[in-house]
Structure 1
């Protein structure tokens, strides 16, 4: 069986959205069919084209990427060898120049000696010494002096010439090595050019397929909007039915003991394990009873409905963007129930109820044995939840994965004695609001949504509001929040030069700067999780850079350690999104 492509999505008719309260209580009639039911990964981030041809294109892209990565190593080695050969040539030439200088100096001395002899009466030879000599002892002495001078001159000039010849031989060897290194570098450059051409070709084909993917993703996102809209309408219909039935939701304090303290006309709701549920009641009527929730719960869920579609951004608490904990804390706080604003702290104080008894407004905590607690949302029924979701990059209605539920808490019951939330184990990354949080030194895969690096459909990204720049939606919302805070300090938003980088853009940049650019298909820019900044942030030691170091982490942005001063590739302008 062929493995499932990460570009695959479900094909089939849209199903009916389960309404917010009716699915659990059979109290609100089903509203009409929605565009789609909530997806397992909200916003359609995992749904793309089912195509064997696209699978083959991805395989080709992966092969080109692997070849480029191998060639990058070979190119780096060849360039190092070329630089070493050039240095040896330069050293050899310097040696030759020095030897020729010594030889020239010695030759000049000999020339001055000969000139002096000529000036003093002609060349001094043994014959002239004999003819002009008087005392035989003087003649012998003169001949000895002349022989010593000649021997010394010949030795000096000969040694200098030997040094020069040795230097010339060394230079010839170095020149040959340089020629070989240049030839290897040229061969590798040609191979890389061929690979870049192959990358261009596969990118062009992928762009065509990507257009189909983007259109399908746009449809899925419209369906998500339909889900959000229909869910909010269902909730309003439920609230309206309470009013039409003359039911005034009681405060939470009156529903703590549903056997003794319920208002007249209300009756308890049975619990799955026997007995009755605290914090809820029902209003008996025909043909079905009507769920009655505390006034605080209804106010909180209604406020959460108003936040649907707003961006997700870690560390923010509305009104323009939210994270999962701050959304829960804010809507319940406005309703009169104080809660922490972080998922682990919410887990610690939430009074538990049985998962089988989940009701609208309950807090649902998701996680896995490896990553521990990873998300919190507001239950709408047994199958759906509302959450500021890190993967969707927005406040959405999404499917409630029963197998990932680690805790269900009911805020209207008050806090419990604190209990620590389960954390990651075995080296797993921490997960916040459904999205993995990467440490500053993380250098592994940053893949998301099933998309290849640099081949993310435009509809899966969100604009930054600056030029044509875009990022993954949670990163974009966090960037906008960070830029607004930066503007308060410097009077202008963050200056940006680069954000999401397509596979084709990575190929072009690699061709221009192979020693600096990442291998196509591996850049964090290609995941929509990195930016290059300017306006002072692009220089170490500036007030703008210092502000980023001090504040960017609040918005989930970091400066990777490899780009810090002294780590070999100083890039003050490069910042990456790692979540909250």
Structure 2
């Protein structure tokens, strides 16, 4: 069960940021970069998510969603039954019309026979039929029918009447089935209307709660930016102090063995066990020494500082968005240190150091006994780390929770023999970059940032700069790049009609188009990962649509298979973001 925290008083994180601006990064006799105090929860946003009221409202929304999904299946069956009944009624009516036409034709010929017999005193001959007939075809038909009428007039007319009665009975049964199908369809329509009303009621409450969440989130984001900016400034100030002291960070190989010797003028950094730490040194000074890290570590941490504020998105590897593993791998890769790009792979190969000896640039792996490994970030000191955080939805400076540390690794020491990362036990959900990974079938499951579908605070989304449209931030960046390329080809940007769709918007659309719209709370629009486009893209076969097919994939956008021609729900305008 998730632990819950009481919301902090407004401005608390900002006060912490100011109070901590002069805090030293290391509790050892060396001076490192000072870090502004981050908020108590990852990215400063988690306490917004840990809301029992929001959980209860989301559960109600999930219940309505499940009912709508069940009813939608029943509505589809009822609609098919109604269509079948209407077709049966139409066929029965056609059969009755045919039978009545046949009987009328028989009766007409019999009447002509009787009239001719009366005029001729009962002596009906081919000549009297010829004289009484009109159209030559009718005469020929009548002549051919005379023999049958002579022998079977009553039988033929009777059989035609029986056929008509059978057709009438069939039509009656079909009409009854149609009435029943219409009744069931009407009944289901009423049930769906009731559920739509329930969804609308839940939506009003959710919107009110979400507005409060968004206000808190906007304030926390402002505080987080202050922390990130101050931390980056402190890091630059530390590098400036090294430069002023004439220190050029040495390569990692020069700091591997402090016992055998370090570059001239540098001294070892003490370890918790009383020895010296490999992979670091210090420049003795008064009143405090300066921490000296390997050049590779300095390059990696500097690159990570440059990524602060970029959005978190699973499976992405920059430069517009990151996940936790790809951020670590990329910044160290830029420094010439080859590392895996996922949290488990990084855990497996990084050489361990004691948590008490953690230094800037070390990798910190977080988790719990139940969920196993769930996060990786770059340590800045014993209390602070920098990470692409799934809960914050961005690259942030956040607290380093000592009680959740599973492993600390130092990339500058080289790889260790691989050790498997601990995984979930007892049915616990896996965790990636600090965010639980819900199975796709999980009703009401929270995806990126921890928010429910259609209930993402506006502050967590990024605007497209077009008529109020917004998407998840990495999707927004990819859309803008794609739109610019489209404009180069067609002289104008991509035309868009729909993007992120709130839960309320999904409820309204479902009420208007229950046969076509996704059940509220299940649409990819509700994750900020889908768009509906126009300007020619909305039609198969146009040059604009062809351009999208050929080029959208370069920007992480795709046209889902279910919306392709011939797959039942042709929607050329609908495109989804699948990541870079």
Q: TM-score, normalised on structure 1? A: 0.79
- TM superposition shift of 1:529: 3.2
Residues 232-311 of structure 1 correspond to what in structure 2 (within 5 A)? 232-273=232-273, 275-311=275-311
**Residue number in structure 2 paired with 1:133:** none
* Unmatched tracts of structure 2, length 5 or more: 125-144
Instruction: State the alpha-carbon separation in 2 of the partners of residues 375 and 298 from structure 1.
Output: 22
- TM superposition shift of 1:225: 0.8
**Residue number in structure 1 paired with 2:187:** 187
Instruction: State the alpha-carbon separation in 2 of the partners of residues 459 and 377 from structure 1.
Output: 24
Q: TM-score, normalised on structure 2? A: 0.79
Instruction: State the alpha-carbon separation in 2 of the partners of residues 489 and 443 from structure 1.
Output: 40
User: What SS does the corresponding residue of 1:398 show, helix, strand or coil?
Assistant: strand
Check if 1:204 corresponds to 2:207: no
- TM superposition shift of 1:515: 1.3
**Residue number in structure 2 paired with 1:163:** 163
- TM superposition shift of 1:164: 0.6
Instruction: State the alpha-carbon separation in 2 of the partners of residues 176 and 395 from structure 1.
Output: 65
Cα 1:106–1:187, aligned 2, differ >3 Å: closer, same or farther? same
User: What SS does the corresponding residue of 1:47 show, helix, strand or coil?
Assistant: helix
Cα 1:376–1:542, aligned 2, differ >3 Å: closer, same or farther? farther
Instruction: State the alpha-carbon separation in 2 of the partners of residues 375 and 4 from structure 1.
Output: 16
Q: Which residue, 8, 11, 19 being the options, matches 1:11?
A: 8
Cα 1:492–1:16, aligned 2, differ >3 Å: closer, same or farther? same
CA deviation string 1:474-518 (max 9, x = no partner): 443444455556667777655433222112111111111111222
Instruction: State the alpha-carbon separation in 2 of the partners of residues 37 and 459 from structure 1.
Output: 18
Cα 1:530–1:424, aligned 2, differ >3 Å: closer, same or farther? farther
Instruction: State the alpha-carbon separation in 1 of the partners of residues 60 and 205 from structure 2.
Output: 11
- TM superposition shift of 1:25: 3.4
User: What SS does the corresponding residue of 1:183 show, helix, strand or coil?
Assistant: helix
Instruction: State the alpha-carbon separation in 1 of the partners of residues 349 and 488 from structure 2.
Output: 36
- TM superposition shift of 1:337: 2.0
**Residue number in structure 2 paired with 1:37:** 39
Aligned 8 A contact 1:424 1:430 in 2: yes
Residues 352-363 of structure 1 correspond to what in structure 2 (within 5 A)? 352-363=352-363
Aligned 8 A contact 2:507 2:520 in 1: yes
**Residue number in structure 2 paired with 1:96:** 96
**Residue number in structure 1 paired with 2:28:** 25
Greater shift in the superposed pair: 234-243 or 83-92: 234-243
Instruction: State the alpha-carbon separation in 2 of the partners of residues 5 and 324 from structure 1.
Output: 23
User: What SS does the corresponding residue of 1:465 show, helix, strand or coil?
Assistant: coil
Greater shift in the superposed pair: 476-485 or 82-91: 476-485
**Residue number in structure 2 paired with 1:416:** 415
Residues 441-520 of structure 1 correspond to what in structure 2 (within 5 A)? 442-444=440-442, 447-448=446-447, 449-481=449-481, 483=483, 493-520=493-520
Aligned 8 A contact 1:281 1:293 in 2: yes
Aligned 8 A contact 2:24 2:35 in 1: no
Residues 265-414 of structure 1 correspond to what in structure 2 (within 5 A)? 265-273=265-273, 275-312=275-312, 319-324=319-324, 327-334=327-334, 336-340=335-339, 342-343=341-342, 350-365=350-365, 375-402=375-402, 405=405, 407-413=407-413
Greater shift in the superposed pair: 203-212 or 506-515: 203-212
Instruction: State the alpha-carbon separation in 2 of the partners of residues 24 and 184 from structure 1.
Output: 74
Aligned pair count reads 551
Cα 1:268–1:363, aligned 2, differ >3 Å: closer, same or farther? same
**Residue number in structure 1 paired with 2:127:** none
- TM superposition shift of 1:99: 0.9
**Residue number in structure 2 paired with 1:529:** 529
- TM superposition shift of 1:233: 2.4
**Residue number in structure 1 paired with 2:130:** none
